[in-house]
């Protein structure tokens, strides 16, 4: 499965959530499906999507927060999994797209290409509600179950190492920050609310 297939399959499920993406292919592919003011693209902050998502989840407990992360980014901030587990925000879903490479910066292999299991890392850090998805149906089921639940969830999606032709997010970085802040001041809508 590809990351774009996964994003396309869950877009309607996450469109009203506060969504924080990591840089590179994940941002570009989500943006290609349709930008929303409640989507925040961390275009220059590798490793920090889960930290931004955690802060947002703790500050807005009635809002569903979805973090779209990558294996390289999570490996750069592996301690972030421990921090997520420590605070355990019930309104946060951490999705890690594991393509076993740093695709957005040249395609170098990550530690997951040689045996590191990010789901085992997340469980070992204390995130009990962690699953690995290896096909699109399992991925969609896991995301929907996490969104319907009231517990911190981590989903590791094993995806192919393919990305977009270009890494373009057609929003001005500064304006995106203010647009997202304005969206977060509004009450959560529909699927973005906690049950």
pLDDT above 90: percentage of residues in the chain: 75
What secondary structure letter does DSSP report for 14?
H
User: Quick count: other Cβ atoms within 10 Å of Cβ 137?
Assistant: 11
Tokens 């393509």 identify what position? 99
188 vs 57: CA distance, rounded Å: 12
Mean of pLDDT values over 152-161? 97
What is the Cα–Cα distance from 65 to 88, expressed in whole angstroms? 13
Strands (E), 46-161: 65-70, 92-98, 101-102, 108-109, 130-133, 153-158
pLDDT digits (tens, 9 = 90+) for 66-79: 999 999 999 999 99
pTM, two decimal places:
0.94
- 75, containing H or E segment: helix 71-76
- What domains, with CATH codes, occur in the chain? 3-187 (3.40.50.970)
**Greater confidence, 81 or 177?**
81
| Residue 158 reports pLDDT greater than 80 | yes
Helix then strand then coil, % of the chain, to nearest 5: 45, 20, 35
């Amino acid at each position: 499965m590809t990351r774009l297939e996964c994003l396309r399959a869950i877009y309607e499920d996450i469109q009203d959530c506060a969504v924080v993406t990591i840089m590179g292919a994940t941002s570009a592919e989500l943006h290609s499906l349709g930008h929303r003011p409640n989507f925040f693209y961390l275009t220059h902050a590798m490793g920090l999507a889960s930290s931004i998502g955690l802060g947002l989840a703790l500050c807005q407990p009635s809002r569903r927060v979805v973090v779209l992360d990558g294996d390289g980014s999570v490996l750069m901030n592996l301690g972030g999994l421990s921090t997520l587990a420590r605070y355990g925000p019930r309104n946060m879903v951490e999705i890690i797209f594991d393509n076993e490479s740093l695709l957005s910066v040249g395609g170098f292999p990550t530690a997951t290409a040689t045996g590191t299991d990010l789901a085992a890392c997340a469980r070992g850090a204390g995130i009990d509600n962690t699953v690995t998805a290896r096909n699109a149906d399992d991925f969609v089921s896991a995301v929907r179950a996490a969104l319907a639940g009231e517990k911190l969830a981590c989903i590791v999606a094993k995806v192919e190492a393919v990305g977009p032709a270009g890494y373009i997010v057609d929003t001005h970085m500064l304006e995106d920050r203010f647009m997202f802040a304005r969206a977060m001041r509004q009450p959560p809508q529909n699927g973005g609310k906690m049950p």
